[in-house]
Structure 1
Amino acid sequence: MRQLILKIPGGHKDEVLKTVEEFSGKNTIHFANGDQDVFYIYLPNQKVNDFLKKIDDYEEPEVNLIPRGVIALYPPASEAPDQVADVQPKSSLEIYLGGIQSVGSIFGLIGYSFVSGIIVWIGLFTNVNFLLVAAMLVAPFAGPAMNAALGTAAGKTDLLKSSLGRYGMAILVGIVASFLMTLLFPLTTLTPLMEEISQVSKFAVLLPLVSGFAGAVNICQSERDSLVSGAAVGILVAASLAPPVGLVGAGLYMMDWQVVFSSLFRILLQLLGIHLTATLVFYFYGKVNPRGVRFLKGSKMMGLVTTGLVVIGIGAMMFWQFSQPPFLRKASMNTELTEILDSELQNLSYIKVLHKGVTFTNEKFQDTPVVTFGATIMLKDTTMDQETAKKRIIEYLKKNMEYDYDNLYEVYDIKIVDR
C-alpha cells in the first residue's frame, strides 16, 4: 500500500472519506488545519492514480505521495497475514513519475558513460571478463532506454525525444572514451576477447526483448514484490550494450569496419528490442497510457506510430542479419558448424577426437569470409603415417561436410598428437 498526505479546502471531509472507502483505503487519519482539511490515507498501489483523479474535483488538492511500501493492518486481526501478502504493482502515476525522477543529471550521465567506456576498453584489451561486468554496473544505459519506452507507452513525445537524446549521448560518450584509450595505447590487432564479442549470434534479438521485459516489470512492481534487485536488472539491460560500445571506439581507431558495423548493429537492435517489450509491459501491465495517468495528456497516435516503427525496424534488421551470412551470425554459426564437424569426425573409426572447434575471424580471402575447421586427434592405428592420416581426414571432410552456407572459404587445421 502507499501513504498519501492530502490537504484540501475545508468542507469536503465526508466526500473525501467516502471516496477513500470507495477506493479501498484503510486506516485514514483526518484533522483540521485552519481552513484546510488534512488526511493521512493508505491506499492499495493500483488505486492511487484513480483516487487522485477523483480528488481533483475538490479545488486543487495538495498531495504528498510516499513512494514506499506501507503495511496497513486493520481488523479483524486474523486476516493480517493476507493483508500483508496483498502486494500490487505500482500505480501508473508512480511508474511515470518514477521514470521522470530517474533521469538524473547530464553530468552524471556523461561521467558514468565515460568511466564505463574506459573500463570496457581495459577489459577488452586485457581479456578480463569481470571488467566487462563492472562496466555493465556503471553504464547508465538502462534509464534512458526505459524512459523512452515510458514515453511511447504514455504518448509523450517530449519524454521520448529527451530519453533517446540521453541514450545517444551515453553511447557516444562511451565510444569516445574507448577511442581515446585506443589512441593513447594503440592497438594494431583485435584481442581474442574483442574477436569473440564482435561476433553476433542469430539469437541476438532475444536478449534485448527479455531485457526490456525484465526491466519494465522491475519498474512496475512494488519493492516488496520484486524478486530481483534493480541493479541486477540494470546489468541485464547493459549486458549487450557496454561491450559493443567499447568495440566501436577501438574498431574506429583500427578502421576495422566489420567490428564497427556489427557493434552498431547490436547497439541499435538493443534499443529497439528493449523499447518494444518495455513499452508493451508499461502499457498493459503498468497501465501507463495516454489517458491512464493523472494530469497526463499524451497522444495515442504517437504511441502507435512509434511502436509500429520499432516493429518495422526490428523486422528490417532481422532481414538484414539473415540475408548476410556469416557477417552477423558468426557466433551461432560457430556452434552449428562445430556440431557438423564433430559428427563427421566420429564417422572415422581410425581416429579419436580430443578437441574440435570452428572459428571465424574478420579476415577474408578472395573477398570471402574465412572459417577454420580445427581438430586435435589421436590415431588408433599406430602404424598409420601421420601426414597420410591428416591428408585423408581433410579430404574426407571436404567431401562429406554439408551445410547451408555457400560463401565461406574453408581452412582446415588438423593436429595429430602422439600416443
Structure 2
Amino acid sequence: MITIEAIAPASHEDAIIRLAKQNNARDHWISSSSDKQIGIKILIEKSRSQKLLDQLQALMEGKSNFRVLAYPLEIALPYDKSSGNNTSTQSREALLSELKTQGKLDGHYLMLVFLSTIVAAIGLIENNVAVIIGAMVIAPLLGPNLALSLSTTLGQVKGIVNAARTLVIGVAFALVLSVLLAFIYPNITLTPELMSRTHVGMEALALALASGAAAALSITTGVSSVLVGVMVAVALLPPTVTLGICLGIGALPQAEGAALLLLANIASVNLTAQVTMRIKGIKPREVEKQRTALTIFIVGTLFWCGLIGLLIYRLSV
C-alpha cells in the first residue's frame, strides 16, 4: 500500500473523499484543516493508486493551490495478510521519478561509468570473473535503457531523446576509456573472458530478451532486490569494454563481434522492457496522449524488432 495526501482548497473536501471511497481506499483521514486549505491522507493499495492519482490530477487541473503527494508505506499495523504479497504495478509517476534519476546525464552517472569501465577492463584483461561481476553490479548503463523503454511506452519524445543521449554518451565514454586502457596496459592478450564477448549467439539474444523483461518487471513492481541479478545477467558494460580493448589492440574481427553483442543486448533489453511495461498497463493519463504513445510504442517496437532481425540474419550467413 501507499499513502496519498491531497492538499487542496477546503471546498474540495467532499470530492476528494468521494474519490477515495470510489477507489476502495483502505482508509482516509484529514491531516490538516483551515478555512482555505485542507489536507487529506488516503491509504490505498498500489494496484488502485494509479486511477486515484489520475482522478486527483484531473480535479486539480487549472488550480494553483492544489498539490498531491505520495509516500511509500513500509509498515502498517495491524498487518493485513491480504496485501502482504502484493507486487502490483507502481504508478507511472513513481516510475518516472525513479528512472529519471537513473537516466540523468550528470557527473554522478559519468563517474559510475568511469569506475565500472576501469573495473570491467581489469577483470576482462586479467580473466577475473569476480572483478567482472563487480562491474556488472555497478551497471550504470541499465538505467538509461530502462528510462528509454519507459519514455517509449509513455510516448514522451523528450524523455526518449534524453535517455538515448545519456545511453550514447555513456557507451561512448566507456568505449574511449577502454581504448585508452588498451594502449597503456602492458601485454594485453585475448583472454577467455574477452573472447566470450566477441560473438553473438542465439543464447545471448535469449538471455538479453529475458533480462529486459525481468528488469521491467522488477522496476514496475518495486522489487528492487531483483535488480542486482538483472544487472549481472544483462551485462551491457563488458561488451562495450571488450569492443574498446579489441579496437585498442587492433583485433578488428573480435571488435566487430563485440559490437554486435552490444547492439543485441541494447535492442533486446529495450524491446522486452517496453513490451513488458505496456503489458503491465503503463500508459499516459490523457486519452489523446494515449494514441500518440501507442504510435510511438509501435514504432519503437518495430525498430528494435528490425534491429534484432538484422542481427539474426547476420548470424545465419
Fold equivalence (TM over 0.5): yes
- Between stretches 180-189 and 107-116, larger displacement belongs to 180-189
What residue is the counterpart of 1:64 in the other structure?
A: 69
What residue is the counterpart of 2:226 in the other structure?
A: 229
Q: Which has the higher strand share?
A: 1
Deviations 1:72-120 (A, max 9, x none): 75xxxxx942244445321233223322233345212211112212112
Cα deviation, residue 195, structure 1: 2.6
Partner of 1:229, secondary structure, is helix
Structure 1: 4+ residue segments shifted above 3 A: 67-73, 83-87, 186-189, 290-293, 295-299
What residue is the counterpart of 1:309 in the other structure?
A: 303
Q: Is the 8 A contact 1:27 1:72 kept in 2?
A: no
Query: Cα distance 1:83–1:131, how it changes in 2: closer, same or farther (>3 A)?
Result: closer
Cα deviation, residue 47, structure 1: 2.0
Q: Is the 8 A contact 1:67 1:94 kept in 2?
A: no
- Between stretches 59-68 and 170-179, larger displacement belongs to 59-68
Structure 2 unaligned regions, length at least 5: none
Letter matched to residue 310 of structure 2: A
Q: Is the 8 A contact 1:72 1:83 kept in 2?
A: no
Q: Distance in 1 between matches of 2:21 and 2:163?
A: 38
Q: Distance in 1 between matches of 2:297 and 2:207?
A: 23
Q: Distance in 2 between matches of 1:102 and 1:192?
A: 32
TM-score (norm 2): 0.90
Q: Is the 8 A contact 2:198 2:256 kept in 1?
A: no
Letter matched to residue 36 of structure 2: D
Q: Is the 8 A contact 1:6 1:64 kept in 2?
A: yes
Query: Cα distance 1:302–1:85, how it changes in 2: closer, same or farther (>3 A)?
Result: closer
What residue is the counterpart of 2:44 in the other structure?
A: 43
Q: Distance in 1 between matches of 2:73 and 2:148?
A: 24
Q: Distance in 2 between matches of 1:103 and 1:43?
A: 29
Q: Distance in 1 between matches of 2:298 and 2:116?
A: 34
Query: Cα distance 1:87–1:183, how it changes in 2: closer, same or farther (>3 A)?
Result: closer
Cα deviation, residue 188, structure 1: 5.8
Superposed, 1:330-409 pairs within 5 Å as none
Q: Rg bigger for which structure?
A: 1
Q: Is the 8 A contact 1:5 1:40 kept in 2?
A: yes
Query: Cα distance 1:110–1:70, how it changes in 2: closer, same or farther (>3 A)?
Result: same
Partner of 1:71, secondary structure, is coil
Letter matched to residue 321 of structure 1: L
TM-score (norm 1): 0.69
Cα deviation, residue 219, structure 1: 0.6
What residue is the counterpart of 2:53 in the other structure?
A: 52
Letter matched to residue 153 of structure 1: T
Superposed, 1:153-192 pairs within 5 Å as 153-187=153-187, 189-192=189-192
Q: Is the 8 A contact 1:3 1:65 kept in 2?
A: yes
What residue is the counterpart of 2:144 in the other structure?
A: 144
Q: Is the 8 A contact 2:105 2:166 kept in 1?
A: no
Q: Is the 8 A contact 1:117 1:135 kept in 2?
A: yes
What residue is the counterpart of 1:13 in the other structure?
A: 13
Cα deviation, residue 217, structure 1: 0.2
What residue is the counterpart of 1:372 in the other structure?
A: none
Q: Distance in 1 between matches of 2:276 and 2:141?
A: 19
Q: Is the 8 A contact 2:197 2:257 kept in 1?
A: no
Structure 1 unaligned regions, length at least 5: 74-78, 324-419
Partner of 2:33, secondary structure, is strand
Q: Is the 8 A contact 1:247 1:260 kept in 2?
A: yes
* Residue 210 of structure 2 is aligned to residue 210 of structure 1: yes
Letter matched to residue 303 of structure 1: F
- Between stretches 130-139 and 84-93, larger displacement belongs to 84-93
Q: Is the 8 A contact 2:214 2:230 kept in 1?
A: yes
Cα deviation, residue 290, structure 1: 3.8
Deviations 1:323-365 (A, max 9, x none): 1xxxxxxxxxxxxxxxxxxxxxxxxxxxxxxxxxxxxxxxxxx
Q: Distance in 2 between matches of 1:83 and 1:262?
A: 48
Cα deviation, residue 8, structure 1: 0.7
Letter matched to residue 24 of structure 2: S
Q: What is the number of equivalent residue pairs in this alignment? A: 312
Q: Distance in 1 between matches of 2:71 and 2:188?
A: 55
Partner of 2:152, secondary structure, is helix
CA RMSD of aligned residues (A): 2.5
Partner of 1:198, secondary structure, is coil
Q: Distance in 2 between matches of 1:319 and 1:45?
A: 43
Query: Cα distance 1:194–1:233, how it changes in 2: closer, same or farther (>3 A)?
Result: closer
Deviations 1:9-54 (A, max 9, x none): 1122222111101011122111413411110111111222221222
Q: Distance in 1 between matches of 2:138 and 2:254?
A: 23
Q: Distance in 2 between matches of 1:112 and 1:12?
A: 46
Q: Distance in 1 between matches of 2:17 and 2:229?
A: 41
Cα deviation, residue 194, structure 1: 2.1
What residue is the counterpart of 2:313 in the other structure?
A: 319
